[in-house]
């Protein structure tokens, strides 16, 4: 069947900001869909509030709306652009939920819009737990016994039938948000309350727990002729009870016989047909009782999912792209398989390697968060690795995580031991507890269990992890012990790195065995010398000898020749890398997503690849994050799906011999490698490692600032605790502290006194000798400014100046910001620009640079300089209409900014607000107060010609729409009271009723405002939190000073966040909100595509 000709313009919905449970995998799917639909000649109209995505690049769609993802906005788009069809399956749960709302409100019918990819009925059937259960029963499949409830009373009645443990799942949420396992009645009631709030439709499923069953997922595709194929069976190493997004997963399924697999496959076919997903991909989850093979269906996602991204990268089958083509009428047999070129998409990939995905967590950023893994997702990213065997892939995945673990290191000081019964019973007990409770460390606890003499069966009994996996772990641990034993036998003790580099002949044979098992040189060295630093083998493998070589991912197990160089390293004898002799550049990606390093950097890497392709230069991408666009095999000429450690990267460089390596786009991950790579003689493109070091090294940086006669907050570097105290006293409290070489403000904190400094040093446990502590004067109430600039070695151009809405001291990734600035004096802007250019020249920046300034009393201080792509590059690019990362890549290849016609900061006739999105509700964070440590997972952009509207849009996109009426609750610190009066007056004028805590209320009343006083939490009930919980409050303004008042007021902010009440923790943000309310009351919502903004832009700049 050829493509549909009755539709021309397709509306595509993205997934909005990155949140836990919905990350950049939907940029991967949206981008593939956009490209596929454009290739087919359709016009694409796109809505996504997340500017950091590739899919919102203006040249990927015809109309790109970076606007709030609300029904109101969609209707405005329908009116303007009159699309014929809507493809709802590419933007995760967000897109699906928005589509359901549109359908329910009759808007699809009203505007004559056809749903393609999935019908409303099938979405309902798959998403509504009750309908799904009925559908499964109709086709003879089992589902866990369950029922859905809409009130606590119903829940308690249902509990009688289901019993404990019981799973509580809200309907229509993503990442299993709000899902929990209850073991007793108290927990059950608590979880029901939360779930009822979390579900957008107030419906909650209570179901029987299949704790300990094995969990599987199948990725299924269907076309309109009812051809169905399975792309990949995935097996979870973690048994049921842990959300699949938080589980270690393995492809293909490892422990299913053909009989069981076919049974599951048949079930999947029946399910997709019964649910009626007409075209495209679906993900189906099964649980299997390991005792008797009993199978139950857990759930189905009638859309592209996180697992689809994983399955695509795991097999080389581009699920989203194919799904988009199926949605417009093609059948599977009409779509070619890009990798083999001779076969079609209508087949089932077979894989001749093993894929392991391990989730990445950032619990360390959130104090007091429960680290136990359960049915709602808590991880923020993931790393994937490929190897010929599970053991190899597992070890590669571990080092891809970048958690400073290069293997199954012992958490209990047992490295090198094996089945050792002499381990202290107390330690053994701790290990058993670690195996019993699923956390991000369970894998390592299992390894320690083996070391401490637990059997495979013991570990299976405690963890319910399939014995096959446990045995694999056992074999790795056993080898480690053998390695240590034989090395000691050959070399004596102690062993120093120089004794094993190069590897002595006596260990050569064993070293090959180690490589076959996927051991890194770092880990092997660490086992012998206690520290992994210092090279072990690091010698290139002779091509004809067995060793670590590269193989291709080809979808077909080698049956057909692979034409796409999608490569992974593995132990073998024949290398398939076949490097070309073209001019080539290697781009190092950002690795797994984490807070502080996410999709923005992938965006930059993808742009770098595009720019190089434009220039006819071969691109080699290296990354290990399966959610990304950069790991799509057609983004670069060659893709290496590999860990980003120095030894893994060097191995690729030895094979490929690139002309240069790009480290400035992937965030801190590749940046960390720049000095070691340069040390190995690798050419680093753009800004040189020495300049990077001048900016990163505090001492050299201070010298730089002094040389240029600029200002920075008074500061010092402490290499011991007493030094820290001396420096802090000399500077004067409050001070800002952080360890050197960090990203995302990791462990960064404002310290108000000496006791707090001690507590900080103790809590973080930083080894100051290894990571000196940076101490800065904290500029209270300063305005913070972010600048992105680009330089070609001669000329530097400021691309965007962003004024933070929150004051300095709040991490720039967490602060809302405005581009262009909305309150800075022209003279200050000129000065910022002058200083930026000066710094770029002095550092010899070639490529991108980001500077953070603090403005206090019109004086400009430099907080930090990052000679690399920053988190704001996509935001700035989309606002100003110039692709900065592409320009930077070209500059790095020798182009001049004058050749690229980028000579001055583009004037803007509109403005954009960037707002951060936080995982507080998903993680159950106890205090949501913002600070210097970054905690947001994603961002949104509000763009408009008017500041108020842009701010309002940004808040709506971030999921906290500003209210137009109701009660405003004010509780502010002393210093903010004067400013609060002005704010309160305007809120009153806008029709808000005012409530305030005692001090604030007294102040406002004394200035003639009508204010109701409410109790603080400590002052008796009903208090402020009661009012928030009862939804009597429309917005909260709560600013706090020192530690004590922060702790006092934490419940207020928590209640607001969890109750979905907009809250502002700075006066500046509250003022912006008031401007937003004023704008919304003055003029109606207007939407406009980026293409339209940029057309105006190019007219005004004459480019």
Partner 1 sequence: MKRALLTLADGTVFSGLALGYEGETVGEVVFNTAMTGYQEILTDPSYKGQIVLMTATQIGNYGVTPQDAESRQVWAEGFIVREAASRMSNWRASQTLSDYLTEHHIVGIHGLDTRALTAHLRDHGSQVGVISHVDLNGDSLHQKARSAPTLVGRDLVKEVTCQNAYEWNDGTPPLLPSATLRSTPHPSSTFRVVVMDFGVKHNILRSLVDLGCRVHVVPASTSAETIRGLQPDGLVFSNGPGDPEGVPYARKTVQDLIGWRPILGICLGHQILGLAHGLPTHKLKFGHHGGNHPVMDLSSRTIEITSQNHNFAVHIPSPGDSGQPMGLQRFSTPFGDIEVTHRSLNDGCCEGFRGVDHPVLSVQYHPEASPGPHDSAYVFQQFVSMMKEQAHA
If the CB atoms of residues 641 and 853 are measured against partner 1, the closer one turns out to be: 641
Determine the Cα–Cα distance for residues 689 and 795; give it in Å rounded to an integer. Answer: 20
Residues that bind partner 1 in the complex, under the rule CB under 8 A:
140-142, 225-227, 229, 233, 252-263, 265-267, 270, 290-296, 332-333, 342-344, 346-354, 388-390, 456, 466-468, 471, 475, 516, 546, 551, 556-561, 572-574, 576
Name which of 207 and 788 has its Cβ closer to partner 1.
207
Question: At which residue do the structure tokens 């968060």 appear?
Answer: 369
CB of 390 to partner 1, least distance (A): 6
* Residue number with CB closer to partner 1 (518 or 1051): 518
Give the nearest distance from C-beta 294 to partner 1 in angstroms: 5
Residue 276: CB atoms within 10 Å: 16
Q: Which is nearer to partner 1, 572 or 579 (CB)?
A: 572
Q: Which is nearer to partner 1, 546 or 1059 (CB)?
A: 546
For the bound state, the minimum distance from the C-beta of residue 651 to partner 1, rounded and expressed in Å, comes to 17
Q: Using the Cα atoms of residue 890, residue 29, residue 323 and residue 14 in order, give the sign of their dihedral.
A: negative
- Residue 264 C-beta: closest distance to partner 1, Å: 9
Residue placing its CB nearer to partner 1 in the complex, 574 or 720 = 574
CB of residue 224 to partner 1, shortest distance in Å: 11
Shortest Cβ 328–partner 1 spacing (Å): 18
Of 534 and 572, which has the nearer Cβ to partner 1?
572
Going from the C-alpha of 874 to that of each of 35, 79, 255, the distances in angstroms are 19, 28, 43
CB 269, min distance to partner 1, A: 8
Beta carbon nearer to partner 1, 557 or 1022: 557
Q: Which is nearer to partner 1, 336 or 494 (CB)?
A: 336
| Nearer to partner 1 (CB atom), residue 276 or residue 572 | 572
Retrieve residue 467's tokens: 């014995």
Q: Which residues contact 847 (CB under 8 A, 6 or more apart)?
A: 664, 685, 686, 687, 790, 791, 867, 868, 869, 888, 889, 891, 892
**Bridge partners of 335?**
none
State the minimum distance, in angstroms, from the CB of residue 486 to partner 1. 15
Structure tokens at 805: 């809405």
**C-beta closer to partner 1: residue 231 or 843:** 231
Residue that the structure tokens 């209320």 belong to: 1001
**Angle made by CA atoms 562, 519, 432, in degrees to the nearest 5:** 120
The H-or-E segment that residue 359 falls in is: strand 354-360
The Cα–Cα gap between 691 and 675 comes to 10
3-state secondary structure 611-670: HHHHCCCEEEEEECCCCCCCCCCCCCCEEEECCCCHHHHHHHHHHHCCCEEECCCCCHHH
Give least dist CB 230 to partner 1, A. 8
Rounded to 5 degrees, what are φ and ψ at 359?
Answer: -70, 155
Over its C-alpha atoms, the chain yields an Rg (Å, rounded) of: 29
To partner 1, the closest distance from the beta carbon of 338 in angstroms equals 15
Question: Is the CB of 408 or the CB of 548 nearer to partner 1?
Answer: 548
Q: How big, in percent rounded to 5, are the helix, strand and coil portions of the chain?
A: 40, 20, 40
What's the N-to-C CA distance of the chain in angstroms? 43
Q: Which two tokens stand for residue 838?
A: 């000066």
- What is the SS3 string spanning 709-752? CCCCCCEEEECCHHHHHHHHHHHCCCEEEEECCCCCCCCCEEEC
Nearer to partner 1, 235 or 788 (CB): 235
Task: Find the shortest distance in angstroms from Cβ 388 to partner 1.
Answer: 5
CB of 570 to partner 1, least distance (A): 9
Q: Tell me the closest approach of the beta carbon of residue 106 to partner 1, in angstroms.
A: 36
CB of 423 to partner 1, least distance (A): 23
Burial tier of 125 (Cβ tally within 10 Å: 0-12, 13-18, 19+): buried
SS3 of residue 698 by DSSP? helix
Least distance (Å) from partner 1 to the CB of residue 473? 11
Q: How far apart are CA 1006 and CA 1010, in angstroms?
A: 9
Pairing between β-strand 114-115 and β-strand 85-87 as defined by DSSP bridges: parallel
The residue (of 253 and 787) whose beta carbon lies closer to partner 1 is 253
Helix axes 884-892 and 873-880, enclosed angle (nearest 10) = 110
| Burial class, 767, CB count within 10 angstroms (exposed 0-12 / middle 13-18 / buried 19+) | exposed
**281 near 220, Cβ under 8 Å?**
yes
Chain CA centroid to CA 886, Å: 22
If the CB atoms of residues 233 and 658 are measured against partner 1, the closer one turns out to be: 233
Q: How far apart are CA 1103 and CA 1099, in angstroms?
A: 7
Return the number of the residue (540 or 978) whose C-beta is nearest partner 1: 540
Distances (CA, A) of 303 to 92, 289, 456, 626, 758: 7, 27, 38, 18, 51
Instruction: Supply the minimum distance, in Å, between the C-beta of residue 475 and partner 1.
Output: 7
Residue tagged 């069981």 (tokens): 260
How many whole angstroms separate alpha carbon 651 and alpha carbon 653?
A: 5
Q: Which is nearer to partner 1, 516 or 905 (CB)?
A: 516
The single residue listed with the structure tokens 């305007």 is 986
Residue pair 325/36 in contact by the 8 Å Cβ criterion: yes
Least separation in angstroms between CB 471 and partner 1: 4
| Distance of closest approach, residue 314 Cβ to partner 1, in angstroms | 12
Backbone angles phi, psi at 26, to 5 degrees: -85, -10
When the beta carbons of 553 and 751 are compared against partner 1, the nearer one is 553
């Amino acid at each position: 069947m050829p493509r549909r000709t009755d539709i021309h313009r397709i509306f595509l919905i993205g997934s909005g900001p990155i949140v836990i449970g919905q990350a950049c995998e939907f940029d991967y799917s949206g981008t593939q869909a956009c490209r596929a639909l454009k290739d087919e000649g359709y016009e694409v109209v796109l809505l996504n509030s997340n500017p950091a995505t590739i899919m919102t690049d203006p040249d990927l769609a015809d109309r790109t709306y970076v606007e709030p993802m609300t029904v109101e906005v969609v209707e405005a788009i329908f009116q303007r652009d009159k699309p014929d069809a809507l493809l709802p399956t590419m933007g995760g749960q967000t897109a699906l939920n928005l589509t359901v709302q549109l359908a329910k409100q009759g808007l699809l019918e009203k505007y004559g819009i056809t749903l393609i990819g999935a019908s409303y009925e099938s979405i309902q059937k798959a998403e509504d737990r009750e309908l799904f259960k009925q559908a499964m029963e109709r086709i003879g499949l089992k589902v866990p016994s369950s029922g859905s409830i809409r009130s606590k009373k119903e829940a308690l009645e249902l509990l009688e039938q289901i019993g404990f443990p019981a799973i509580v799942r809200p309907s229509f949420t993503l990442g299993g948000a709000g899902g929990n396992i209850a073991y007793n009645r108290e927990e059950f009631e608590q979880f029901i309350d939360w779930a009822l709030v979390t579900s957008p439709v107030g419906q909650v499923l209570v179901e029987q727990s299949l704790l300990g069953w094995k969990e599987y997922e199948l990725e299924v595709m269907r076309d309109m002729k009812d051809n169905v194929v399975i792309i990949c069976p995935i097996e979870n190493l973690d048994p049921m009870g842990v959300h699949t997004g938080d589980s270690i997963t393995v492809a293909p399924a490892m422990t299913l016989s053909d009989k069981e697999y076919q049974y599951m496959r048949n079930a999947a076919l029946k399910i997709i047909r019964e649910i009626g997903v007409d075209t495209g991909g679906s993900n189906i989850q099964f649980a299997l009782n390991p005792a008797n093979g009993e199978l139950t269906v857990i759930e189905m996602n009638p859309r592209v999912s996180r697992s689809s991204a994983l399955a695509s990268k795991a097999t080389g089958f581009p699920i989203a792209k194919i799904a988009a083509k199926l949605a417009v009428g093609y059948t599977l047999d009409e779509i070619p398989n890009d990798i083999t070129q001779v076969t079609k998409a209508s087949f089932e990939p077979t894989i001749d390697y093993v894929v392991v995905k391990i989730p990445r967590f950032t619990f360390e950023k959130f104090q007091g968060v429960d680290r136990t893994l359960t049915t709602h997702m808590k991880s923020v990213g993931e790393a994937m690795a490929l190897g010929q065997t599970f053991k190899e892939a597992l070890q590669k995945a571990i080092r891809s995580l970048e958690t400073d673990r290069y293997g199954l290191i012992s958490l209990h000081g047992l490295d090198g031991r094996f089945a050792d019964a002499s381990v202290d019973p107390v330690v053994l007990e701790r290990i058993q507890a670690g195996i019993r409770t699923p956390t991000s460390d369970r894998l390592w606890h299992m390894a320690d269990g083996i070391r401490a003499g637990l059997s495979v069966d013991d570990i299976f009994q405690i963890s319910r992890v399939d014995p096959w996996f446990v045995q694999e772990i056992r074999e790795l641990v056993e080898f480690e012990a053998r390695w240590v034993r034989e090395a000691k036998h050959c070399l004596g003790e102690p062993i120093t790195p120089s004794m094993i580099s190069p590897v002595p002949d006596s260990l050569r044979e064993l070293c090959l065995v180690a490589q076959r098992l996927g051991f890194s040189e770092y880990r092997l060295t660490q086992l012998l010398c206690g520290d992994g630093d210092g090279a072990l083998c690091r010698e290139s493998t002779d091509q004809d000898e067995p060793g670590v070589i590269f193989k291709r991912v080809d979808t077909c197990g080698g049956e057909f020749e692979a034409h796409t160089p999608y490569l992974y390293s593995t132990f073998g004898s024949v290398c398939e890398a076949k490097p070309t002799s073209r001019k080539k550049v290697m781009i190092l990606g950002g690795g797994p997503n984490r807070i502080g390093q996410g999709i923005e950097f992938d965006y930059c890497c993808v742009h770098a690849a595009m720019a190089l392709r434009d220039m006819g230069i071969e691109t080699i991408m290296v990354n290990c994050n399966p959610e990304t666009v950069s790991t799509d095999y057609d983004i670069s000429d060659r893709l290496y799906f590999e860990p980003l450690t120095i030894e893994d990267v060097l191995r690729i460089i030895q094979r490929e011999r690139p002309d240069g390596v790009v480290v400035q786009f992937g965030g801190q991950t590749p940046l960390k490698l720049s000095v070691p790579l340069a040390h190995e003689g690798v050419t680093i493109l753009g800004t040189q490692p020495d300049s990077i070091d001048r900016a990163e090294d505090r001492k050299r940086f201070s010298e730089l600032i002094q040389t240029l006669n600029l200002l920075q907050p008074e500061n010092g570097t402490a290499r011991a605790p007493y030094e820290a105290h001396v420096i802090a006293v000399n500077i004067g409290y409050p001070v800002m502290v952080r360890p050197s070489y960090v990203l995302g403000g990791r462990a960064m904190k404002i310290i108000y006194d000496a006791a707090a400094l001690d507590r900080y040093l103790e809590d973080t446990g930083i080894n100051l000798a290894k990571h000196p502590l940076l101490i800065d004067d904290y500029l209270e109430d300063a305005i913070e400014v972010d600048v992105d600039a680009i330089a070609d070695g001669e000329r530097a151009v400021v691309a965007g100046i962003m004024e933070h809405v929150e004051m300095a001291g709040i991490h720039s990734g967490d602060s809302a910001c405005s581009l262009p600035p909305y309150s800075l004096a022209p003279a200050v802007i000129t000065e910022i620009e002058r200083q930026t250019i000066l710094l770029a020249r002095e550092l010899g920046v070639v490529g991108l640079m980001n500077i953070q300034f603090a403005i206090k009393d019109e004086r400009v201080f430099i907080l930090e300089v990052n000679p690399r792509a920053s988190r704001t590059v996509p935001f700035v690019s989309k606002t100003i209409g110039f692709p900065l990362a592409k320009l930077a890549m070209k500059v790095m290849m020798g182009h001049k900014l004058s050749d690229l016609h980028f000579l001055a900061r583009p004037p803007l006739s509109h403005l954009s607000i960037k707002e951060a999105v936080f995982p507080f509700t998903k993680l159950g964070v106890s205090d949501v107060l913002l600070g210097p440590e970054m905690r947001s997972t994603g961002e949104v952009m509000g763009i408009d010609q008017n500041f108020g509207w842009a701010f309002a849009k940004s808040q709506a996109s971030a999921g906290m729409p500003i209210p137009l009426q109701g009660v405003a609750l004010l509780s502010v610190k002393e210093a903010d009271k004067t400013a609060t009066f002005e704010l309160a007056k305007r809120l009153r004028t806008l029709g808000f009723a005012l409530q305030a805590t005692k001090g604030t209320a007294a102040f406002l009343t004394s200035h003639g405002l009508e204010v109701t006083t409410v109790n603080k939490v400590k002052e008796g009930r009903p208090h402020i939190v009661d009012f928030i919980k009862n939804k009597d409050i429309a917005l909260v303004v709560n600013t706090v000073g020192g530690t004590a008042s922060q702790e006092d007021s934490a419940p207020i902010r928590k209640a607001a966040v969890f109750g979905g009440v907009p809250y502002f923790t700075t006066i500046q943000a509250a003022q912006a909100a008031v401007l937003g309310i004023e704008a919304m009351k003055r003029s109606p919502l207007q939407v406009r595509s980026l293409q339209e903004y940029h057309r105006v832009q190019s007219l005004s700049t004459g480019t």
